[in-house]
Amino acid sequence: MNIVVLAGGNSTEREVSIVSGKGVCGALRERNHRAILLDAYFGREKMEEDLFPTEYDIEKEAAWMQEKSKLLKETMKTRKEFFGPYVLDICRAADIVFLALHGANGEDGKVQSVLDLMGIPYTGSGHLSSAMAMDKGITKMVFEAAGIPTPRGITLEKKTCTSKLSDYGMEFPVIVKPCCGGSSVGVCIAKDQKEYELALAEAFSYENEVVVEQFVQGREFSVAVVDGKAYPVIEIAPLEGFYDYKNKYQEGSCIETCPAEISVELTKEMQRYAEEGYKALHLEAYARLDFIMDDEGNMYCLEANTLPGMTPTSLIPQEAKVIGMSYPRLCEKLIEVSFNKYR
């Protein structure tokens, strides 16, 4: 197939997206697909005659995208439109677009809406479920309505919130995070009033809405759901702190164990909640749901990621490996299950 791997973008997760896109593009090439890497925000400098060549230099394209990252802030000051030159024309020529975007404008349903309107097939969930899952406040309400355990929390607006936790019937410690951010950017644990005020300022520097939830001390897990079926549970144990941006992407900062060393009963329970969360949010094709479990075995679903990291060492590829699926085959399977939306 002719496949566009759409990556980059203009979110705080741009660099992670480029790494995901590079990995996916290479994997699909291994499976004999004519995949190309395309920067959603910077596009192409010209329209080539052969859009999907047999021979293709992925490293060169990724390096060009990373060089363009240096211009991102300045470009965003003067440019209103999201898609770069020729992006939609090239996407229209593909059999499918593999979305390797992460964070705002790529994972929140906006790109999906445009592709839907243009009749361009793409991987992952549709625009509405992507938007719901990206909003941690909405996700929490959906989980609560569906009976999926999730930490108690509230959504605060910058212009109306107070800095007194007691006004919301909560107590320290709490987690403060931007409502629609990704990769734990801007997420802080606050153990007292001073830390809470600093955490609010940090989170509000990214967005006008933040989620504050009761902190749960425990072990962190993740479960991929592909085509409605849960994969093996993976445990993430940061050597320091919690699973924040640094621990997610700095090599050697976490110990990742798959399958997780928990009982069969707890494994099945977590997988069931992952599948129920996937269904409650009306997700499609694939997603990753994150959990925390306290010392008494009480588990809480934290959030759903509709376009999780897809580097060869990311969590979903690790889970797939346990069931005997290679990284290239996984990338191909995510395309196959995504086509179900169009049948």
Mean pLDDT per 10-residue interval, the chain, length 343 residues: 98 94 98 98 94 97 98 96 98 98 94 98 98 95 97 90 85 90 73 92 89 95 98 91 52 86 98 98 98 97 96 94 98 97 90
Phi, psi of 82 (to 5 degrees): -85, -50
- Asked whether residue 331 is domain-assigned, the answer is no
Q: How far lies 44's CA from each of 49, 180, 202, in Å?
A: 13, 29, 35
Query: CB within 8 A of 143, min separation 6: which ones?
Result: 149, 150, 277, 280, 301
Tokens 């019937």 sit on residue: 169
299: domain CATH number is: 3.30.470.20
Give the pLDDT confidence score for residue 78 in this predicted structure: 95
Q: Which segments of the chain are extended strands (E)? A: 2-7, 34-39, 96-99, 153-157, 174-178, 188-190, 209-214, 219-226, 229-230, 234-238, 254-257, 286-293, 299-305
| Domain assignment of residue 132, yes or no | no
CA dihedral 30, 101, 305, 171 (to 10 degrees): 140
Residue 260 has what pLDDT?
A: 98
Question: Over the range 207-228, which residues count as b (16 or more CB within 10 Å of their CB) and which as e?
Answer: bebbbbbebbebbbbbbbbbee
198 vs 16: CA distance, rounded Å = 26
Of the candidates 97, 29, 91, 84, the residue with the CA atom closest to the CA atom of residue 57: 29
Asked, for residue 210, whether it belongs to a domain, the answer is yes
Domain tally for the chain? 3
* In-domain check, residue 333: no
In this structure, what token pair is assigned to residue 234?
């993976």
The answer to whether residues 208 and 227 belong to one domain is no
Backbone angles phi, psi at 293, to 5 degrees: -130, 130
Are 202 and 221 members of one domain? no
Per-residue confidence (pLDDT) for residue 247, from 0 to 100:
44
Give the CATH number, domain containing residue 210: 3.30.1490.20
**In this structure, are 8 and 98 located in the same domain?**
yes
Residues 7 and 87 in one domain: yes
SS3 92: helix
Same-domain pairing of 111 and 7:
yes
Residues 106 and 12 in one domain: yes
d(CA 295, CA 217): 8
> Quick one: which of 208, 209, 186 has its CA closest to 198?
186
103 and 47 within one domain: yes
Q: For the domain that residue 60 is a member of, what is the CATH number?
A: 3.40.50.20
Shared domain check, 118 and 26 = yes
Domain-located, residue 6: yes
Tell whether 111 and 156 lie within a shared domain. Answer: no
Position 343 in a domain? no
The answer to whether residue 127 is domain-embedded is no
Residue 85 is predicted with a pLDDT of 97
Q: Does residue 43 share a domain with residue 93?
A: yes
> Are the C-beta atoms of residues 168 and 140 closer than 8 Å to each other?
no
The residue with tokens 């999926």 is 148
The token pair at 165 is 């936790």
Check whether residue 196 and residue 292 sit in a common domain: no
Partner residues linked to 212 by β-bridges: 154, 176
By residue range, what is the domain housing residue 55?
Answer: 2-122
Partners of residue 2 on adjacent β-strands: 34
Q: What is the pLDDT of residue 168?
A: 87
* Beta strand 188-190 pairing with 153-157: unpaired
Strand, helix or coil for residue 237: strand
226 with 196, same domain?
no
Query: Which amino acid does the sequence have at 202?
Result: E
How far is 129 from 126, CA to CA, in rounded Å?
Answer: 6
